[in-house]
Amino acid sequence: MDINPSSLDFTGYTPTWCAGCGNWGIGKGIELALKKQQLSPDRVIMLFDIGCSGNMNDFINAYAMHTLHGRALATAVGVKIANHKLPVLVTGGDGALYGEGGNHFLHACRGNHDLTVIVHDNSVYGLTTGQVSPTASKGKKSRSTPSGIIEQPVNPLLLALTQGATFVAQGFTAQLPQLAELITAGMQHKGLSIINVLQPCVTFNKENTYAYYIKNTYKLPEDHDKSNFSQALEQAQSVFKERFPLGILYETTRPTYQDELPQLASEALAERGRFEKSVSLLDNFK
C-alpha cells in the first residue's frame, strides 16, 4: 500500500476553536505523531467524545467516530476488539473522560485495552460555556458553581496509575515537540496509554492560563525511572502542590485485554469473511 503522509493534513475545513485555544496544539501534536509513524489515513481510527475537542472529528482526515458524551472509550474498546490490528486513538476533555466517562476510564485501565487516550484537560466544559469539570480546583467559581466548587479535583495521573494504566504521561499543549513525542510513544506502547494534556481554555478559564502552566510545569528529573511505580506516584502527587510534571511518568508491560482473547489469536475479527464462514458452517450439515 502506498503511504501518503501529506494526506493526513487537516482537511481544509476551518475549526471552530477559539483563537489561542489549546486544542490547536493538541490537534497539531496528533498530526505530527501520525506523520512521524508514516500512518496512512486508512490505518488508524480516532474516537472523539462530545466537547470542544470533539470538533476535531470534522477536520482530521482519518477514519473517525464522534460518540455520545462519555462513551468514546467504551466505543473504542469495541472497535479494538473488532480489529485489534488498527491503532485506536481516543480524545476527549477531562469532563468526558474523568466525569461522564469516568466509569469507562477505570475499566479501560484495569483491562489494559490497547488504546491511546489523549485527554484535553482544561478544567471546564468549554462547549457549554464554562461550567467546572472534574480537574477544576476546589473553590473555583463558575456558572454552575457561583459559590465555588465543593469537591476536590480529580488527579488524572494518580487515577490512571492506581487503576492499572500501563503508560501514563503528561504534556502541555504549548510544548508541541514534546507533546508529539508523547503521543507517538503512547501509540507505540502496547496496552492502555493515557496522555493527560494541560490545555488552556482561553475563553472560559482565566486561572489555568498559558502563563500559569509555564510557571507551574516542570520536566521530569533526568534520573526519573519510568519503570519505577513508586517514583511515578511521587511525581503524580506534586499536582496537589500545583506543580505539573511533563513527560512519561510510568511505563510497564502486561498482557492486554486483546492478548487474553483466544478468539483474536489468528486474525482480526474484521478480517474474517462472512461468506466463507457461512459456507464452512453449511459444510457441517453435509
Residues in the site for ligand SF4, rule: CB under 6 A? Answer: 17-18, 21, 23, 52, 122, 126, 201-204
Residue with cell 503508560: 167
Helical H segments across 56-138, by residue range: 72-82, 94-95, 102-111
Q: Is 174 exposed, middle or buried (0-12, 13-18, 19+ CB in 10 A)?
A: middle
Cβ 194 to ligand SF4 shortest distance, Å: 20
End-to-end alpha carbon distance in the chain: 40
Helical H segments across the chain, by residue range: 23-36, 72-82, 94-95, 102-111, 156-163, 176-188, 210-216, 229-237, 274-283
Cβ 18 to ligand SF4 shortest distance, Å: 3
Cβ 143 to ligand SF4 shortest distance, Å: 13
CB 46 within 8 Å of CB 64 = yes
Whose Cβ is closer to ligand SF4: residue 15's or residue 87's?
15
CB 194 within 8 Å of CB 170 = no
Cβ 90 to ligand SF4 shortest distance, Å: 18
Whose Cβ is closer to ligand SF4: residue 21's or residue 79's?
21
Whose Cβ is closer to ligand SF4: residue 70's or residue 93's?
93
Whose Cβ is closer to ligand SF4: residue 21's or residue 97's?
21
Cβ 66 to ligand SF4 shortest distance, Å: 16
Q: Which three cell numbers stand for residue 179?
A: 507533546
DSSP 8-state assignment for residue 105: H
For residue 259, report the phi and psi dihedrals to the nearest 5 degrees. -60, -30
Cβ 46 to ligand SF4 shortest distance, Å: 18
**Which amino acid is residue 214, in one-letter code?**
I
